[in-house]
Amino acid sequence: MDCYTANWNPLGESAFYRKYELYSMDWDLKEELRDYLVAAAPYGGPIALLRNPWQKEKAASIRPVLEIYSASGMPLASLLWKSGPVVSLGWSAEEELLCVQEDGVVLVYGLHGDFRRHFSMGNEVLQNRVLDARIFHTEFGSGVAILTGAHRFTLSANVGDLKLRRMPEVPGLQSAPSCWTILCQDRVAQILLAVGPDLYLLDHAACSAVTPPGLAPGVSSFLQMAVSFTYRHLALFTDTGCIWMGTASLKEKLCEFNCNIRAPPKQMVWCSRPRSKERAVVVAWERRLMVVGDAPESIQFVLDEDSYLVPELDGVRIFSRSTHEFLHEVPVASEEIFKIASMAPGALLLEAQKEYEKESQKADEYLREIQELGQLTQAVQQCIEAAGHEHRPDMQKSLLRAASFGKCFLDRFPPDSFVRMCQDLRVLNAIRDYHIGIPLTYSQYKQLTIQVLLDRLVLRRLYPLAIQICEYLRLPEVQGVSRILAHWACYKVQQKDVSDEDVARAINQKLGDTPGVSYSDIAARAYGCGRTELAIKLLEYEPRSGEQVPLLLKMKRSKLALSKAIESGDTDLVFTVLLHLKNELNRGDFFMTLRNQPMALSLYRQFCKHQELETLKDLYNQDDNHQELGSFHIRASYAEERIEGRVAALQTAADAFYKAKNEFAAKATEDQMRLLRLQRRLEEELGRQFLDLSLHDTVTTLILDGHNKRAEQLARDFRIPDKRLWWLKLTALADLEDWEELEKFSKSKKSPIGYLPFVEICMKQHNKYEAKKYASRVGPEQKVKALLLVGDVAQAADVAIERRNEAELSLVLSHCTGATDGATADKIQRARAQAQKK
């Protein structure tokens, strides 16, 4: 163990820091790092280098090269820079490279050097140029802060949703601040800058002077400042060589350290571990690296070459032309197990397992000691936790073997933590490989989540490894394999050296009917790459018409979209395509397209009936559909207010019906025209509303108004059958309760409808007296029913017995209720008995 802790460096009495090598860089840089603009993404992200020809000693004619590498130095992209001078580089949270130019334009590139987009930081920045810039990360996304030549700051907290904020002016600022940084307090991005001995805090509303509490006297300027990875702590480097550390709110001082070096450092970053009480800052000069904290001593390292610091969640990455290292505080579990003369449960368990492999009895002694203290569960947990923080696979295996050995002597130790740690370490070791180059620590991996890690593997086009991880961790297909295959397919369609047929076939063979994969999304990517035919071929594999049609419309393949919509049977989808076609094609071509699609034509007609009547008429005319055209003019006639317009529309409808050889409809239309003319004449003569009444209602109205002769003449003119006319007159006179006229009418001639309706109408008007008059005139077949309607049950019984009609006898019996009708019921029963004897 003492050899293992050889690279541990104590900082005070309670913390150790260690630095170990991640990779031996093989990127063959031709110049020192100081000659490059450098940007390295956190969470083991890529490194971007841009040779800086805009320095005064460089020739302005030299075009720089933008190079992107993995953390292990493997080249990912290289492109000749053809745009303007670059002031700063930085990576977004989505691993997009932001290049801030001197004119305030920010160019965004992908991990493989593909140009994504650009945006401007505003006209003021363009006019005054950019002096300095910072790319920062908050919970809202990645932001950009600009210092202009007018010594004003402009900030956007999220480049994905660009909203520029011009920060307040700093009073009396005549030159660039000696140092500045971004703070994030209460979900608001702020700028802290130093002007001589003074500090100013800029927010969206005001500029306020701030003073760090407990700062040593004699400070005339601040040379460097650094905010922690979580924006909770702040460090200030003064011209006296003192390093002040406190909270980012500048309300509390943590500690202060005098390094006795007054030269401004190249970089200063925080180095702290989550949930650790220790706070440390790493300061780098040309050939010296110093770790300082709340201790009188510091840790110092010699730098053999130009180095660059990358702050991380739980430490600092340090890379140079030849090596890439990681500096961090030794985790508690590792410290307790590996520190010299440790008697922690995990340390004893590790020794017990080693002695067990040697077949030594000391293994039993160590194990008994742990068990006697009741700390075996704690020992296993310590070994599992320490294994996660180890970078070397051999140490991981040693600690996991010790944990497995200890588990054997526990009855109820849950295996979940052990299994999960084995899975996590296998994933971490796979991505830490030199050819992958993502040196995540266990803490970073847990903070980043497996889904984001998979996204980053997909971004690097490491599809096989991403799929293997999904299958190994047994992730749901929609979250794992399906999503990765969809990304692979979107990348595949960008390979323009392969034919459309081969690409579509390869994608379909690989994806098949994989759940969660949308062929329409892949087709949209193909269309975005200018491969329309490939997009159409891919849409053939899309089972959802609702996803096919919108993209086909976007690709201006409207007729194909119409066919797909009709095949789907979704009328809403068909209407969507029809309206698109109507706006896209001229009227003639649109109608011809509809004629080839009967279902679409039918649906469009339904639409026109409610929305566009003139278009509907044009459709009927083009198709020579005189029957529907006649119906159209019938409906249109009711929209006319003047009688002349209505008659003209009806005449047009009648002509159309004759052309359609529908004589019945034509004659009915002509009758309606005659009725309208007659109604207008009646209105003029009688001064009453007749228009829009039906023929029957017109006759009824005339009868009700006492114009019986006019009603009869109207019936003769329109050949109303006698039965119908009698019904109309009977109903109207009953409504008027003109019983005398009704009686005269009944005696005018023999009723074609019989006299039972007279009885029924009178009873409906609750006039039993009049009803009895007509009951006597009802024929034998309906006599019983008429008598029952007027309540003469006894006489109805006599008629039924006389007619010997069983149905009528049963009907009379059903009306016999109470004692008064008892004799009638007996009479019917006796008549039935006599009929049965005979």
The domain that holds 303 is classified in CATH as: 2.40.128
Does residue 835 lie in a domain region? no
What is the reported pLDDT for 713? 80
Q: Is residue 764 part of a domain?
A: no
Nearest-angstrom CA–CA distance, 130 and 146: 7
Would you state the pLDDT for residue 68? 96
pLDDT of residue 5: 87
CATH number of the domain encompassing residue 192? 2.130.10.10
Report whether 669 contacts 650 (CB < 8 A): yes
Q: Are residues 320 and 391 in the same domain?
A: no
- Return the DSSP state at 271: -
Both 257 and 136 in one domain: the answer is: no
How far apart are the C-alpha atoms of 610 and 601, rounded to whole Å?
A: 15
Cβ–Cβ under 8 Å, residues 327 and 282? yes
CA distance 293 to 31: 34
Q: DSSP character for 211?
A: -
Nearest to 298 by CA among 257, 253, 332: 257
DSSP 5: G
Same domain, 247 and 196: no
* Residues near 196 by beta carbon (within 8 Å), at least 6 away in sequence: 178, 220, 221
Q: CB–CB of 287/303 below 8 Å?
A: yes
Q: What share of the chain is helix, strand, coil (3-state, %, to 5)?
A: 45, 20, 35
Numbers of helices and strands, H then E, in the chain: 33, 29
Mean pLDDT, contiguous 10-residue spans, the chain (838 residues): 80 91 90 91 95 58 87 94 93 95 95 93 92 90 93 92 91 90 89 93 91 91 95 94 94 93 94 87 95 93 94 96 95 92 91 91 90 91 95 95 93 91 97 95 95 94 94 88 86 82 85 78 82 82 76 76 75 76 72 72 68 64 69 72 76 79 81 77 77 78 77 78 78 80 78 79 81 76 75 72 72 67 70 64
Residue 656 forms part of a structural domain: no
Residues 84, 704: Cα–Cα separation, whole Å = 96
Q: Are residues 196 and 52 in the same domain?
A: yes
341-to-256, 327, 337, 437 alpha-carbon distances in Å: 32, 24, 9, 36
CB 755 within 8 A of CB 747: no
Number of structural domains in the chain: 3
Q: Look at residue 501 and give its three-state secondary structure.
A: helix
Task: Tell me what pLDDT residue 45 has.
Answer: 95
Question: Of 330, 358, 373, which closes a domain?
Answer: 330
Q: Is residue 838 domain-resident? A: no
The burial class, CB within 10 Å (0-12 / 13-18 / 19+), for 568 is: middle
- Name 154's bridge partners: 146, 166
CB 669 within 8 A of CB 654: yes
Which among 129, 130, 128, 160 has a CA at the least distance from the CA of 143? 160
Assigned domain for 65 exists: yes
The residue type of 263 is A
Residue 747 region by backbone torsions, left for phi larger than 0, else alpha for psi between -120 and 50, else beta: alpha
Same domain, 135 and 149: yes
Q: CB of 566 within 8 A of CB of 597? A: yes
Alpha helix ranges (H) inside 737-792: 739-748, 756-764, 768-775, 780-789
SS3 754: coil
List of long-range contacts for 683-691, beta carbons under 8 Å, 24+ apart: 691/643
Distance (Å, whole) CA 460 – CA 454: 10
Encode pLDDT of 578-628 as tens digits: 777 777 777 777 777 777 777 776 776 666 666 666 666 666 666 666 777
| Predicted pLDDT at 832 | 67
Query: d(Cα 675, Cα 714) in Å, to the nearest integer?
Result: 9
pLDDT of residue 1: 45
135 and 176 together in one domain: yes
Q: Do 90 and 165 belong together in one domain? A: yes
Backbone angles phi, psi at 644, to 5 degrees: -65, -45
Residue 194 structure tokens: 């130093």
- Check: pTM over 0.85? Answer yes or no: no
Tell whether 201 and 220 lie within a shared domain. no
Question: What DSSP character marks residue 315?
Answer: S
Integer Cα distance of 89 and 37 in angstroms: 7
Q: Tell me: do 178 and 61 sit in the same domain.
A: yes
Both 12 and 50 in a single domain? no
Mention every residue, 6+ apart, whose C-beta is less than 8 A from residue 407. 380, 413, 415, 418
341, 393 contact by CB (below 8 A)? no
Residues contacting residue 710 through CB under 8 Å, at least 6 positions apart: 682, 702
Question: Does a structural domain hold residue 47?
Answer: yes
Query: How does pLDDT run across 436-473, given as a tens digit for each residue?
Result: 999 999 999 999 999 999 999 999 999 999 999 999 99
Please identify, among 182, 205, 228, the residue that sits at the C-terminal boundary of a domain.
205
The answer as to whether 229 is a domain residue is: yes
267-270 sheet: strands from edge to edge: 267-270, 280-284, 288-293, 299-302
Q: Which of 374, 393, 410 is the last residue before a domain boundary?
A: 410
Identify whether residues 236 and 216 lie together within a single domain: yes
Residue 647 within a domain: no
Domain that holds residue 5: 1-19+211-330
Residues 241 and 388 in one domain: no
Count Cβ neighbours within 10 Å for each residue of 472-486 and write b for 16 or more, e otherwise.
eeebebeebbbbbbb
